Amino acid sequence: MTKIDIISGFLGAGKTTLIQKLLDGAYPGEQLVLIENEFGEISIDGGFLKGSGVQISEMSSGCICCSLVGDFTQALKDVQAKFHPDRILIEPSGVGKLSDVVAAVENTAAQVPELKLNCFVTVVDATKVRAYLKNFGEFYEDQVKTAGAILLSRTGGLAQEKLDRAVALLRELNPKAPILTTPWKELDGPTILSAMEQSASLEEELLAELRARKAEEHGCEHHHHEHDHEHGCCHDHSHACGHDHEHHHDHEHEHHHHHDHGHECGDPNCTCHHHDHEGHHHADEVFTSWGRETAHPFTAGQLEDILTALDTGEYGTVLRAKGILPCADGGWLHFDYVPGEHNVRPGSADFTGRLCVIGAQLDEGNLAGLFGL
């Protein structure tokens, strides 16, 4: 199977710099082919990247999204047949529409089962978002709206207010895609690749922990209750019921999910409830999660105070919290929380600040206020 990654971006956004960063460590042991589509007669980047040992197929004098769709499809087929690579990187013309490139790849993949569209991202110059939206709306907006992830370049040294404004503009066009706000020099290739591929969110990670914990508990209980399919045992946390799975997004990329298990429970301390056909509910059917992506920095002291406050019960029954946030004093802070215990420590950079809180009957408005978001 050959993965196809599309790295789009407007002229001068930094696509080639990003690709070089990825080649320096994001694809260990993989055979790669880079397909460039230059707008104009002469390809400048090809010679620069040939030194990385990557096979390059340059297509000049046109644009993938228009005159070269047919040739592009054949180029993908030829590359697959000749090299059988693990991954194909496609760098479309800066003035191309990402939606058309994605469609061309999907059409080709439908004809060649060995090809798979893996991710499609857009590189955005954080200093030029407003100007480019105004002057190049049709192409620029398409690249932003279509992107599965948005990778901001030139964020180093950019004033926080300007960065927040750029993120807000992008979020209006694309409410779902992860937005990488961390300066690239602070990130390694694998971390950037994880943002591109939209790796497991903090929410998914924490819910997996809770599912594993409850499965272990239920494994023990099953020996005692294997004939009882009316009621499960009760645990010491309350829960939120009756909400459909939903997403909310603002310019800080808020996401909070309500996991519906289909009934009200009379016991406010019960989290097992009535059993389903297999005897138990998953943790993600019981708990509520709230989280944010944010570029705002925190101090270690602020996070200590915030995590201590989670124990007060004023924000709901918090079972787990985790985050990776930029530090106001430089670097990054990682934190973990379980009831009565938390940890704040220096750690590696992430593609943007992220945090997630999981629990029951969470007061999401107060949580947002507590974190100042």
Report DSSP letters for 17-39, one per residue.
Answer: HHHHHHHTTTSTT--EEEEEE-S
Q: 5 and 151 in contact (C-beta within 8 Å)?
A: no
Q: What percent of the chain has pLDDT over 90?
A: 34
Q: 360 and 239 in contact (C-beta within 8 Å)?
A: yes
Q: Which of 39-53, 140-154, 279-293, 301-315 has the lowest mean pLDDT?
A: 39-53
**Cα 155 to Cα 176: distance, rounded to the nearest angstrom:** 20
Q: 350 and 199 in contact (C-beta within 8 Å)?
A: no
Residue with tokens 């802070």: 333
* Nearest by Cα to 353 from 164, 141, 145, 123: 164
Kindly give the interhelix angle for 137-146 and 160-173, rounded to the nearest 10 degrees.
Answer: 80
pLDDT in tens, 66-120: 344 457 788 888 889 988 999 999 988 776 788 888 988 999 999 999 999 999 9
pLDDT in tens, 235-251: 333 333 333 333 334 44
Residue-level pLDDT at 38: 57
The yes-or-no verdict on residue 192 having pLDDT over 50 is yes
The yes-or-no verdict on residue 147 having pLDDT over 90 is yes
pLDDT in tens, 15-48: 888 998 898 889 988 999 888 765 443 444 555 5
Q: What is the pTM of this model?
A: 0.60
Per DSSP, helices labelled H in the chain are: 15-23, 45-50, 69-83, 98-111, 129-135, 137-146, 160-173, 189-196, 202-225, 300-309, 364-370
The yes-or-no verdict on residue 200 having pLDDT over 50 is yes
Q: What is the mean pLDDT of residues 133-162?
A: 90
The yes-or-no verdict on residue 131 having pLDDT over 80 is yes
Residue-level pLDDT at 239: 34
The yes-or-no verdict on residue 139 having pLDDT over 70 is yes
pLDDT in tens, 253-278: 555 444 433 333 333 333 333 333 33
Tokens of 364: 């999401």
